[in-house]
Chains A and B, each alone.
Chain A
Amino acid sequence: MSAPIAYVLFLSFAVFCFGACGFLIRKNALSLLICLELMLSGVNMAFVGFSRLHQNEGGNVLYFLVITVAACESAIGLALILNFFRLKKSVRLDEARALEG
């Protein structure tokens, strides 16, 4: 006896939406990266849920790959933030608008 797949997916969507809203609302780059992790985590839930639904390890493998990418992304993102901080002495993203039309 287990929960229906729909519940897992609802939870996954909710976490993803929290992450996305945070990503759009927050102003400093560090919070943005954290929200990004939250979004990825939401997606991972869906993968694991599907894996469980079909009793197939493929979803888990995908989870594995996603955390790999997440690790890379957070590492590079943090390096970029470091450089940005050196340049501007702040991590406010609205200061990075050199491409304004």
Chain B
Amino acid sequence: MEIEIFGWTLLDYFQTIVDGVLYGATYAIIGIGFTLIFGVMDKLNLAYAATALAGAYFSWGVGTQIPLPAPVAYVISSIAAGGFGYLVYLCNFRYIPSGAPLASLLATVGMLLFLEELIVHSTQGMPQPYPALFDDVMLEWGDFGMRGDLLFVFCLCVLATVFLLYVLYRTKLGMATRAVAQQPVAAQLCGMSVQGTNSTTFVIAGAIGGIAGAMIGASVGILSPLLTVPVTVKGLIAAVIGGLGSIPGAIVGGLLIGAFENTFQLLRSVTERDMYVMLLLFAFLAFRPGGIFGTASRHE
């Protein structure tokens, strides 16, 4: 006889958590982008998820002209999103005085809405098919199953983390990035270009976002402007819960949100799901404002 808790078996819970963790990988990748930019500039770029999806849309646009294999589309998405990231830096950060963080924040909100409308107008708001890898792969063990495409996204997420940690701690660029993040004035006095480092961070974050955008499109098989705001919200929550500025934190935050929302969807309802995610965010902000890996006073 199977043990049931609130009407669901242990296998149901396990399946739900695994599904959520796998899907949470997409939140985690977006969270990495938020956290990377915040870590370096101490500012939030709310247009980040929009640039990620704009990259995916760009690769879709190229794909309508020349048939592209899925991996090539993902690479194009990454490159395009890197370019969009640079544009966001120029428009929303480079020329806005550093002493006016609210101006940058609001500018990124404007950019988010602008990119969303741009996507809507260039596609008439219609969902567009996006190539998927391992879309029809389902790994099954009895009643338990795992989506092949989400497993692939999860692996990409891990790879992105390893790549970023390598860049940050094993390269000159990483050293410069950390120096600019910690002491921008001192870094500049040592001959490091603050603007160069910042713009490179936006390009790298954008490129990672482009992969996230492509993975989100691939996980549904469709790109839609409807995705922009929910992905922004979930990615931001992942970064906050993990600890803004912490890359491993963004990963853990993203996977945690995925598992959490899926579990509450099972226990309660899809309509209440996001309410519990917000409660989780409030709980963190109240009791551990620095997130899992951060500290509350990091930027004080």
Partners in one complex: no
Binding site for B on A (CB under 8 A): none
Binding site for A on B (CB under 8 A): none
